[in-house]
Amino acid sequence: MSMTSTAAPSPQTGAVKVAMLISGAVFVLMMLVGVLMRAAQGDLLDLDPALFYQLMTAHGAGMVGTAGLSGAAIMWYFLGRHVALTRWVFHIFLALFLLGVVLILGAIFLGGFGAGWTFLFPLPAISGGAWDLGAAAAFLLGLVSIGVAFLLFYLEAGRAMISAYGGLGNALGWPLAFGGSTENAPPPTIIAAATVTVFNTLGIVVGAAVLVVSLINLYLPEFAVDALLAKNMIFFFGHVFINASIYMAVIAVYEVVPEYTGRPWKSSRIFALAWASTLLFVMAVYPHHLLQDLVMPGWMLIMGQVISYLSGIPLLAVTAFSLIVYLKGSDIRWDLAAGLLVLGVAGWSVGSVPAIMDGMISVNKVMHNTQWVPGHFHIYLLLGEVAMAFGFMAWLVRGDVAQSRFTTLDRLGIWVYIAGAGGFTLMFLISGALSVPRRWAVHMEDWLTQDRIATGFAVLAVLGALIFVLRFVGGLGRSSKA
């Protein structure tokens, strides 16, 4: 069974390794912040509520931003195998991203900003004295810096794909999807990267617009925007961005798993159609976050529910099913990278189920403001995108293929991580089913048992993640992927 790859090496492995090192370190740090918050909710430590909401803001912005960073690094690495990318763009992307991180951390821990990563208008400007306008401005400017970084990233990715494939439609695989033409069909990586480039560019532009309006409103209150429109823009941006992070990370599955199965992952008409539908679904499904906003147009709420049902089909019927087909009957040689990449697809698939349930109006009106919601998106992240990111990190430092093996430490790390992340997210779902509210800094005595159990599972997840990151750091010097 062959584990060798015929694809050309990526042109920028060093910069990608730096991005993944930053991502791994921040993932662990943000998980530790999550442990602190759950422990505080469980009355295991005393945490001032103001500090709790600052930590919650840092945790949310940090995990979403780092998921985006790790997903972008994965996409850039493998996209560079197929098209000619301009190297300095990734350096500027990293610099602007880190500048945004500094501004956001300063706003939170020096300025006391604690409005949450969704920065709902006009909350940044109306803090009740919890933070001043300078802190709000720094937070919003930090998000703008990160947004500009990603916009440059996608513009370069789009330019390279258009240049290589003679048009964006060709890169998206539309001749294959709608015409059935297999001539010059782009590989899965190109179809996925082109799709993400389109929908996340639109999401970032919408997010940038509402950020700029919010910034001006801080100092010119008469320059305002309709609050419902702003909320729609913010949730469109946020929902599209976090989904883009996962869709970029899954590119690692398309590129790496064939090395283990010895079977190429080819673009088919069904594959191209699935990604074409994803392009529509990701942008149209966000109103399922606004089902409790009764002033929303009714047709948008219905659309959010219906597309919530449909959005799981491309994932479950194409990527997850295709992965099962690839693995079935293959003499796969498991190691940490393969295990984590497969776990990522499995976790992503499982996380879609409670998400689809929450997208039902009859369920949403009871469950949406409970811990059910952080339950489903923590499954998406911890057992989905983050698992794929750790899998890519393990693959990057795998070394010689012939010597690759599943060590005892690797097995320990992956099972500890699965147990920790699985138990942690399950407790969110159980608490949500029991109507425990989300975002509360102080919990009632009846809720403490679930909080304390969740804290223990969270510690296990951190330990597993720490093993993966330390293993990556230890392998940096001896990796064959230079």
Q: Which residues of 433-470 are buried (b: 16+ CB within 10 A; e: fewer)?
A: eeebeeeebebeeebeebbbbbbbbbbbbbbbbbbbbe
Strand partners, 437: 370
Confidence (pLDDT) at 17: 94
Q: Which amino acid is at 370?
A: T
| Displacement of CA 441 from its chain's centroid (Å) | 25
Domain ranges of the chain: 13-478
The runs of H, that is alpha helices, within 42-86 are 49-79
Number of H helices, E strands in the chain: 18, 0
Q: Which of 27, 64, 127, 13 is nearest to 465 (CA)?
A: 27
Query: Burial level of 261, CB count in 10 A (0-12/13-18/19+)?
Result: buried
Per-residue pLDDT tens digits of the chain, which is 482 residues long:
333 334 455 557 889 999 999 999 999 999 999 999 999 999 999 999 999 999 999 999 999 999 999 999 999 999 999 999 999 999 999 999 999 999 999 999 999 999 988 888 888 998 888 999 999 999 999 999 999 999 999 999 999 999 999 999 999 999 999 987 777 889 999 999 999 999 999 999 999 999 999 999 999 998 888 999 999 999 999 999 999 999 999 999 999 988 888 888 888 898 999 999 999 999 998 888 888 888 999 899 888 888 888 877 776 777 788 788 778 777 777 889 999 999 999 999 998 888 888 888 888 888 889 999 999 999 999 999 999 999 999 999 986 555 567 888 999 999 999 999 999 999 999 999 999 999 999 999 999 999 999 999 999 999 999 999 999 999 887 665 65
Q: Could you give the CA distance from residue 392 to residue 406 in angstroms, rounded to a whole number? A: 15
Q: Could you give the CA distance from residue 170 to residue 107 in angstroms, rounded to a whole number? A: 43
First to last CA, the chain: 25
Confidence (pLDDT) at 401: 55
Confidence (pLDDT) at 6: 41
Confidence (pLDDT) at 330: 73
SS3 442: coil
Classify residue 437 as left (phi > 0), alpha (psi -120 to 50) or beta: beta
Strands, E assignment, 59-168: none
Give the CATH class of 13-478: mainly alpha
